[in-house]
Amino acid sequence: MTLCLTSHPLSGEAAKEVTYEGWEGARALDRASPDLSRAEHPRDQTAMEPETRDEPEAGDEQSCTVYGLYDQDLTHKTILVGDSGVGKTSLLVQFDQGKFIPGSFSATVGIGFTNKVVTVGDVKVKLQIWDTAGQERFRSVTHAYYRDAHALLLLYDITNKSSFDNIRAWLTEIHEYAQSDAVIMLLGNKEYGVIFMETSAKTGVNVDLAFMTAAKELIGRCLELPKEPKFQINDIVEQKPQKSGCCGFT
C-alpha cells in the first residue's frame, strides 16, 4: 500500500513526501495515546494505539526451531529507533527500495512496518521492520512496541553530536522496555566522506581491519587515476622531471 507520512498537525511541517510502497503499518493515526492526549499537544490525535496490533504480545511463546532447524516461518519484529532526523525512515527506504530520497526533512508521525526477507546462507529470515517516530512526544507510543521486539536497531547521526550523546538514554529505555534477549545494534548513519569504522582496543574488534583498510586505501589511491584532477598533468610535467614510483616516493 501507499503511505504518505504526514506531519504533526500542529508543527506546520510539510507532509513527508516519502511515498513508501512497503509500509503496511499505515493505519490511520487517529487516536491519541494517553500521553499525547494531554496538555502539551492537545490536538495531536495522531498516535496509533499499540493495542490495535496483531503482533504477538509479551509472553507469547515462540520457538525458533522446527525439528532442530531454524523455523523459516518465524517473523522477527525489528524496530528502528533513535533521535528524530538520524535517518531511520531513509535507512528503511534504502533497504527496502534501494534508493535514497533527498530533500527537506519532515518528521515521521506514528509508526509503521514493512516486511522483508533476508537470506542468510541457505536460510530465509523474515523481518518485520518497524519505523518509529524519533520525536520525544511519541516516545510513550513507541515504548509499547519494544517489549515484543526481537531486534532493535538504534541509529545515531555521525554528523550530529547530540544524537550520539542521546544513545545512553535510548539504551536505558531499551533495557527497560525490551526483552532481555533482544538483539540490539548501534548504527552510525550518514557520512562525512571519510572511511568510518568503530574499533575496540580492549577486545581487538576491527583493529587489524582498520590498519588493513588504511593500507588498502593507500594502494588504491596510488593505482587509481584521480577522477577529477585539480590541475593539468602537462603543467607539472613541463615544470618538473617525472618522479619514479606510483606515489612519487623514490
37 touching ligand GTP, by CB under 6 A: no
102 touching ligand GTP, by CB under 6 A: yes
Strand partners, 152: 79, 184
Q: Quick check: 55 and 148 in contact, CB under 8 A?
A: yes
**Which one of the spans 60-68, 69-77, 131-139, 143-151 is the region binding ligand GTP (CB under 6 A)?**
131-139
**Which one of the spans 100-108, 144-152, 162-170, 217-225 is the region binding ligand GTP (CB under 6 A)?**
100-108
Nearest-5° angle of CA 159, CA 220, CA 238? Answer: 110
152 touching ligand GTP, by CB under 6 A: no
- For ligand GTP, the binding residue among 11, 135, 140, 199 (CB under 6 A) is 135
* 60 phi/psi in degrees, rounded to 5: -60, 130
133 touching ligand GTP, by CB under 6 A: yes
Nearest CB to ligand GTP, comparing residues 137 and 150? 137
- For ligand GTP, the binding residue among 22, 25, 85, 110 (CB under 6 A) is 85
Q: Spell out, one character per residue from 186 to 225, where the chain touches ligand GTP: x when CB under 6 A holds, - when not.
A: ---xxx----------------------------------
In the numeric block, which cell numbers belong to residue 35?
Answer: 500521553
Closest by CA to 166, choosing from 88, 80, 105, 82, is: 82
Distances (CA, A) of 77 to 64, 150, 207: 13, 5, 32
107 touching ligand GTP, by CB under 6 A: yes
The alpha carbon torsion through 91, 14, 158, 134 (nearest 10 deg) reads -70
**Which one of the spans 56-64, 128-136, 172-180, 195-203 is the region binding ligand GTP (CB under 6 A)?**
128-136
22 touching ligand GTP, by CB under 6 A: no
The secondary structure of 14-46 as a DSSP string is: PPP--B-TT--------S--TTTTSTTSTT---
- CB atoms inside a 10 Å sphere around CB 97: 14
Residue type, 116: K
Nearest CB to ligand GTP, comparing residues 6 and 70? 6
**Which one of the spans 7-15, 49-57, 130-138, 197-205 is the region binding ligand GTP (CB under 6 A)?**
130-138
Binding stretches for ligand GTP (CB under 6 A): 84-90, 102, 105, 107-108, 133-135, 189-191
